[in-house]
Amino acid sequence: MSRKIQYTAEPIGPIKIITDFLPSPDQLAFKEDSQKVTIGLSRRSIAFFKEAASQYGTPYQTMIRRLLDSYAETYTKPASPGKSTVRATARR
């Protein structure tokens, strides 16, 4: 069941440009310890990773894992000096 998207001419608001931090497929092709999980992915994503993995002779699942690891690493880095960090503290 596909749903058509209807676009309007309304303003979209402020735009924030995000720097591309994702690694290229060749940076995702190496081995590391892992834990097995079950996840449902789109056929389009699986086709992309299978094609890229075949070019580098590595399992596509490994490339997907490295992509997720890179994403997690990007968002768990400590704050830069001079930037405030909000921390939750337990109340007694």
pLDDT reading at 87 higher than 50: no
36-79 residue pLDDT tens? 889 999 999 999 999 999 999 999 998 998 899 899 988 897 76
Asked if the model's pLDDT at residue 89 lies above 50, the reply is no
* Residue-level pLDDT at 84: 46
Q: Helix crossing, 60-75 with 43-56: angle to 10°?
A: 100
Tokens of 38: 């079950």
pTM flag (> 0.75): no
pLDDT digits (tens, 9 = 90+) for 5-17: 888 888 888 888 8
Query: Cα–Cα distance between 24 and 45 in angstroms, integer?
Result: 15
Q: What is the largest CA-CA distance in the chain?
A: 56
State the amino acid at position 56 in one-letter form.
Answer: Y
